[in-house]
Amino acid sequence: MKSDLVKDKIRNAPHRALFRALGFTDEELSRPLVGVVSSYNEIVPGHAHLDKITEAVKLGVAMAGGTPVVFPAIAVCDGIAMGHEGMKYSLVTRDIIADSTEAMALAHGFDALVMIPNCDKNVPGLLMAAARVNIPTVFVSGGPMLAGCVDGEKTSLSSIFEAVGKYNAGKIDAEKLDEYERCTCPTCGSCSGMYTANSMNCLTEALGMGLKGNGTIPAVYSARIELAKRAGMTVMKLLEKNIRPRDIMTEEAFSNALTVDMALGCSTNSMLHLPAIAHECGVEINLDIANGISAKTPNLCHLAPAGRTYMEQLDAAGGVYAVMHELSKKGLIFGGCLTVTGKTVAENVKNCEILNRNVIRPVEDPFSKTGGIAVLKGNLAPDGAVVKRSAVAENMLVHEGPARVFDSEEEAQAAINAGKINPGDVVVIRYEGPKGGPGMREMLNPTSAIMGMGLGDSVALITDGRFSGATRGACIGHVSPEAAGGGPIGVVKEGDIISINIPENTLKLKISDEELAERMKNFTPKTKPLSGYLKRYAALVSSGAKGAVLN
């Protein structure tokens, strides 16, 4: 066992003395040491209940003959961090989580790991760590919160953000806004739409790193506790068979994840996280691969914010396995991929039929014949940009309009709130990329304000930053190269005409090649005074087109 490095008798007597200080018995020291990486904290709604999940995992490990040992991972709540300086610290935590988990796991000689994440950067950060450490590992997440309810309609986090826009536009009063505040998020768990957290938790199933239901069983259901116990037992079987993350997260597994991503209509942030996780596994994912998969993958689900169904309904309709089973009918899933169950994908999803065809459409009757995410390229985004196609109004799939240019989210938000954005405009927010932000802030505040003010079917937004999974509308992010990296988005001028064609995957600044070349020749990107971790991050981070991995 790997843990013999720290607990083998005689030569490790000093190490064993420290285990004695923790109260370990001879019996516990004779068994495999299983690290239980708990992301529990009291500030993130998706993590406030993870102490219960952690205890259930520990019980499962112990029942199967292992010795569970808990250590922590951090997590930022994107919702609470949204719209201010705190959002600069969201994406950057993905690497802190990966680095610190790698350090803890390897420093203490664990034989296996159970990862307990739930929210946006927490899931990919731990998947990155799992690939690096490469010892038997199972993921069991905290699960989604239940949808809220206002005026008889289900709600999720995007509902309250858009309600602020409605209030600012005079469409609702303070009393109704207060009702949204109190009723939108009724339970613990990751926010109830197909936002980034739930996207990534669902993709743990598609990758083969999580058990059935990991992405969809609601946080407050007893089945979630049972799942946690089974995860603890499952990791011991993986240890026995020596099945490791890189045996599971292969090139074909990432193809499966991208395919499921397109079918579910996941958050655009998956286009940052999947390449970063793949990078740790020695697998390359680029945006061109994503477009190829999207072109042949039907979009089977329209969960919030794209539609009016929520995670609890996806779970009841058969969950991720039902989606994968349906996709396999068109030969779109690599069925031979190994998973944490010890079985193949094909064995796992066999007989997992759709239970509600209003929530999960059959492949012969999809919401669209192409996937929920599109990658756009053109002279404005030579290395690509990303849009959640499934959440764009039909009339905005092709749009042309004058640029309204802002060098920060705050500048754009002030203009939107002041009523200075007009139908037809293309809002451009730059210097918010991985390096320029730094930290690639999410733009949920401005996109929600645009939707709430009734401009969602006439105004587009383009940024070198990114979007929350809760964003909907013609919102194009990850524009690469970013302004701070010398990208063409940095030379867009107020009033320039921008052309968006999502069906043709293009994003163009309508000026001549000669004019663009002249502007680029004279362009010096703006810089910001930085300190602390953000200074180091800005110096090391790569383009959003490459997953914003650290060089």
Three-class DSSP labels, 274-338: HHHHHHHCCCCCCHHHHHHHHHHCCECCCECCCCCECHHHHHHCCHHHHHHHHHHCCCCCCCCCE
Catalytic residue (choose from 190, 468, 480, 542): 468
Answer yes or no: 294 catalytic.
no
Give the phi and the psi of residue 149 in degrees, each rounded to 5.
-155, 125
Helix axes 122-133, 93-107, angle to 10 degrees: 40
CA distance 309 to 311: 7
Q: In the chain, what is the straight-line distance between the N-terminal and C-terminal CA atoms, in Å? A: 33
Give the phi and the psi of residue 142 in degrees, each rounded to 5.
-80, -20
Pairing verdict, β 148-150 and 153-155: antiparallel
As to burial, measured by CB atoms within 10 angstroms (0-12 exposed, 13-18 middle, 19+ buried), residue 43 is exposed
As to burial, measured by CB atoms within 10 angstroms (0-12 exposed, 13-18 middle, 19+ buried), residue 55 is middle
* Residue whose entry in the numeric block shows the structure tokens 């002041």: 418
CA distance 377 to 502: 10
Three-class DSSP labels, 432-456: CCCCCCCCCCECHHHHHHHHHCCCC
| H or E element in which residue 59 lies | helix 50-63
Which tokens in the block code for residue 490?
A: 């940095």
Cis before 136? omega within 30:
no
For 303, residues 6+ apart whose C-beta sits below 8 A from its C-beta are: 193, 194, 264, 265, 309, 310, 311, 313, 314
CA distance 477 to 462: 6
Q: Go through the chain and tell me how many residues it has.
A: 551
For 113, residues 6+ apart whose C-beta sits below 8 A from its C-beta are: 34, 35, 36, 37, 105, 130, 133, 135, 136, 137, 138, 235
Which tokens in the block code for residue 114?
A: 């159970």
Active site residues: 468
